[in-house]
Amino acid sequence: TDHPAHPFPHTHKASEPVNFPFILDDSHGHIDTPTIQLFESESSTYTYLLADKNTKEAVIIDPVKETLDRDVKFVKELGLNLKIAVNTHCHADHVTGTGLMKKQIQGLKSAISKHSGASADIQLSEGDNITFGKHCLIVRETPGHTDGCITLVLGDKSMAFTGDALLIRGCGRTDFQQGSAERLYKSIHEVVFKLPEDCLLYPAHDYKGQTVTTVGEERKYNPRLTKNLEEFVKIMDNLNLPKPKKIDIAVPANLLCGLQD
């Protein structure tokens, strides 16, 4: 395919969120795993499409209802066999595109953590594998932003999709949906920060145009998670963020795969 290669090492210099597909660089050994990072601008959500180049089996992470047509078009244009649409948690700020996507793509199954309280074809638990071709995503439970938050780690640990647990130089808020700053701190330090230093981390959101980070960078520069637990809890208790605008629509809808009228 003629999608531009993602630059390595990344620089975080982009002033606008990347809104074009990229294929991972040969040197990272993933030339046969096309990975596409897509952006939904209203909720600043990243959706990821990963595929095995040979078998064309694919997985989509965190699709958004508003960008359903775009994502389905990508799947069709790339000739992918999209097997699983996985949500990293029950989102509070946007409605998932999973339920509607299932209606358009035959055989597509939805997946979410069993701790999310949401309905899906597959209820995921710690250590489960989501396979696509010769690749797999390993489910790691990273609660704290919500009870049912998961981080999806590529089998060789070269990249991980952190949902709202770890954001670039930030983290998910912990003031609703069973949020707990203590649990989030433990999840990040005991799961995400234990991944290899150069493991690429892809979040579910970014509000500043940043697209990717690494474990090493976040361990060193994350302004919240480099603090001790007590200071972290204080920071999280004082974020004073306004409630997500769509929370009252999004949460009930996402408990039903985004299909509530």
Ligand X SMILES: N[C@@H](CCC(=O)N[C@@H](CSS)C(=O)NCC(=O)O)C(=O)O
Residue with tokens 């244009």: 77
Mask for 93-122, x = binds ligand X (CB under 6 A): x-----------------------------
| Residue 244 in the binding site for ligand X (CB under 6 A) | yes
* Rg of the Cα atoms in the chain: 17
- Of 52 and 164, the one with the shorter C-beta distance to ligand X is 164
Tokens of 223: 């302004």
- Of 181 and 257, the one with the shorter C-beta distance to ligand X is 181
| Residue 163 in the binding site for ligand X (CB under 6 A) | no
Strands 166-167 and 170-171: antiparallel
Answer for which of 18, 92, 195, 212 binds ligand X (CB under 6 A) is 92
| Residue 90 in the binding site for ligand X (CB under 6 A) | no
Q: What is the rounded CA–CA span in Å between residue 98 and residue 84?
A: 9
Determine the 3-state secondary structure of 185 from DSSP: helix
Q: Which stretch binds ligand X (CB under 6 A): 61-69, 150-158, 190-198, 243-251?
A: 243-251
| Residues ≥6 apart with Cβ < 8 Å to 211 | 10, 12, 14, 17, 18, 37, 46, 168, 202
| Residue 170 in the binding site for ligand X (CB under 6 A) | yes
Q: List interacting residues with ligand X (CB under 6 A).
A: 43, 92-93, 164, 170, 172-173, 205, 241, 244-246
